[in-house]
Structure 1
């Protein structure tokens, strides 16, 4: 097999979801390691190509992530980017990816490699929004790929957690594609087209009831969770991603297809530099809450493995898999990019790391005053977590409610704020519960074979997770994400 580096020489690449965290890391590496890439088209949700170009400048190339490439290129950076990258307006949830006629014709004639990284990742996203992007978006990208005259490979970024909940520690999740209609809970065969119909019918009902935008959003979020739970998935995100995989695997025909399933993607380990991250990802909400002194207790089984995987390792696997399987249409290739089977990091290690880091490196207020963490972070069972909520929030809320009545609404704002916080914490605990009590591990045999065959990246076994968290991830999170 030709080298991974050489594969991208003179290739024309389309990237969807390019304003997302992982896609940015992919685009940066591609431009940095292969200056002879022919063209990189970025599909960006925008009203037209000018608006897409502005989003590219603001949301992608202007990020600190590109500083290494910018330093290497010097004064040639802008001309290099202008020559190699083109932002085009589009939307994966639309037919023909929402491209205008001119761009559609051009891309169908040029594209050789497609990276589909478009996704909505909120666990309880509106069912209609998640279906349109994660499920129908995957199908739309596949249909587009089938029309590309020079297509060599389509890589679809999914998530390892399409497997659903795993309550048995003996289970090893295999790198296997989904069969069409496969449900995790055997209540009935899953019919994706029927789910689309149910989703549209529910939307129609809400519109006929003259529900306002807020009510529609809340109802569609609840409906998504209901449909996901019916078939055995813990949330709307993984349910709709699983259905997207089904479409791809079942309808790919002769398209060379790679499905990549990362676990909990975290900040960059080494490339282009350690610690770059964008937004809060998985466990980061706990890290941020603890560092701000707002959270001392969080839900989880100490034995649970937090299956962390740095973003640059995921990107390395993406690139190697595309090089390996270009023009191979005989089967579906599925890869888990994970750490649980080779270098597990257990949840029990997190409290000590958080306490030590923020004791030595406290966050500060806008005025520069250090934020003091309350105490050492602790893990709680489900019962203990709800006791924590009772003592920390519910009892004070009862007092506020009484004072509010006595003083004729004088504490209404404080009462409403605490009430919203309790609802938020309770909902987040329910959404994250499947992952903080997750017992299975992920098989990564395909990924390890690929790594050894290509020698393109360093294995996860070399990562010291405590050092990574203390010296790379949390500092990166503080710098780039925690406000």
Structure 2
């Protein structure tokens, strides 16, 4: 926002911290000095820090507390000044089940609860709900490939590159609904621009998704990953090079478990030229058990048959000028998934997530 709409007056950032000094330290470390903001620093040069300090105002608070953890004076002041509120907080753990209520995990369950509460409490306040699918690295802005942390298919792809995941409990034709992070941000900003100034207390929902108009499947993702790691194989800290094979897919947990056990056992035998030791057997069992539990956890998504309609996003594009479309890219049909996965996403994860981390 500060790069594309620099005339914005102020952005108040609610930061969980013990005091103002700690909040500013987080702002400095996680935003001002982050790789993502380098292009903004280049734009402003010596005035960058002053620009950021004038635009980004850290506020000590906590979404779990009444009044968002803010004191009354601060919250009243902010309420008089702001035009828009953007909330992207969520419980992102998947390891708690919510099937009692008809949901496959805590993440989607709490999102649904949040939306229902907002709708019931919003009164005459216009509300935008942005529902992105699986968020991946940036497509173009501010530069291709930026990502923070492992997302969606990344754990699977990077287990695969080390030979730890030669098979997958999944439907190879299952669509993996992915969307780059910059397209999510651009859609949010375009939707805010469209609805923010309207005195219309409606609730509008935007699905920022790709499955209905530019689908990509699990088999395609692992074909592209295979091609990438054939050219750029993973080499661990000892100099060992890992050669990947084509991904195999399974629809039964027992077949998946047996295959993983078989492949990992052979890998150890080949490396040592001996029969497996008790320690190696325990390590393989541990890996197999982890992958089995991991697969069970994500099983609802690995065999998912649905897709998400992004009709409202397409209507939003129709309301944008050509200049706005160039400045705020939201058209997922422009993504060539093979090119994006091989030349943008995997290199981006390696650079911005894994670089500098110790990998065995």
Report the TM-score range of the alignment, normalised by the length of the smaller protein: 0.7 to 0.9
Tell me if the contact between 1:90 and 1:97 (Cα under 8 Å) persists in the aligned partners: yes
Equivalent pair of 1:45/1:52 in contact (CA under 8 Å): yes
Distance 2:299 2:341 in 1: 22
- Give TM-score scaled by structure 2 length: 0.88
Give the corresponding residue for 1:316: 186
Moved more, 110-119 or 378-387: 378-387
**Unaligned stretches of 5+ residues in structure 2:** 268-275
> 269, 282, 298: which one pairs with 1:432?
298
CA distance in 2, matches of 1:443, 1:35: 32
| Conservation of the 8 A alpha-carbon contact between 1:257 and 1:329 | no
Residue 346, structure 1, aligned to residue 212, structure 2: no
Is 1:290 the counterpart of 2:160? The answer is yes
Post-superposition offset of 1:274:
0.4
Larger displacement relative to structure 2 (333-342 or 448-457):
448-457
CA distance in 1, matches of 2:30, 2:71: 22
Aligned equivalent of 2:287: 421
C-alpha separation in 1, matches of 2:87 and 2:286:
36
In structure 2, the CA distance between the partners of 1:344 and 1:374, relative to structure 1 (3 Å rule), is: closer
47-56 or 383-392, which deviates more: 383-392
Kindly report which structure 2 residues correspond to 1:233-312, keeping only aligned pairs within 5 A, or say none: 233-312=103-182
Query: Aligned partners of 1:392 and 1:120: how far apart in 2?
Result: 35
C-alpha RMSD of matched pairs (Å): 2.3
SS in 1 for 2:165: coil
Residue 204 of structure 2 corresponds to 333
Three-state SS of the structure 2 residue aligned to 1:31 is coil
User: What CA distance in whole angstroms lies between the structure 1 residues aligned with 2:241 and 2:33?
Assistant: 31
Structure 1 residue 362 displacement after superposition:
2.1
Q: CA shift at 1:342, angstroms?
A: 0.7
Match of 1:55 in 2: 26
- 1:418, distance to aligned residue in structure 2 (A): 4.8
CA distance in 1, matches of 2:277, 2:166: 27
Deviations 1:399-455 (A, max 9, x none): xxx976xxxxxx4xx676555434432221112111111111111111110112124
Quote the offset at 1:388 in angstroms.
Answer: 2.2
CA contact (8 A) 1:290 1:373 kept: no
Superposition pairs for residues 109-258 of structure 1, below 5 Å? 109-124=80-95, 221=96, 225=97, 228-258=98-128
Q: Does 1:475 align with 2:341?
A: no
Q: TM-score, with normalisation over the residues of structure 1? A: 0.66
Instruction: Check conservation: 1:337, 1:447, Cα contact below 8 A.
Output: yes
**Contact 2:139/2:183 (8 A) holds in 1:** yes
Alignment counterpart, residue 387 of structure 1, candidates 233, 237, 258? 258
Q: Are residue 33 (structure 1) and residue 4 (structure 2) matched? A: yes
TM-superposed CA distance for 1:393, in Å, is 6.6
Q: Distance in 2 between matches of 1:392 and 1:370?
A: 18
Deviation of 1:288 after TM superposition, in Å, equals 1.1
Check 1:96–1:416 CA distance in 2 against 1; reply closer, same or farther (3 A cut): farther
Q: In the alignment, what sits opposite 1:197?
A: none
Partners of 1:333 and 1:40 in 2: how far apart? 23
Residue range with higher mean Cα deviation, 288-297 or 91-100: 288-297
Residue 46 of structure 1, aligned match among 17, 22, 43: 17
Secondary structure of 1:285's aligned partner: helix
For residue 122 of structure 1, give the secondary structure of its aligned residue in structure 2. coil
Q: Is the 8 A contact 1:306 1:346 kept in 2?
A: yes
Equivalent residues in 2 for 1:351-370 (5 A)?
Answer: 351-366=222-237, 369=239
- Find the aligned partners of 2:62 and 2:288 in 1 and give their Cα distance: 36
> In the superposition, relative to structure 1, how do residues 403 and 473 fare at CA in structure 2: closer, same or farther (>3 Å)?
closer
Match of 2:43 in 1: 72
Q: Distance in 2 between matches of 1:424 and 1:64?
A: 33
1:441 partnered with 2:312: no
Give, in whole Å, the separation in 1 of the partners of 2:167 and 2:111: 31
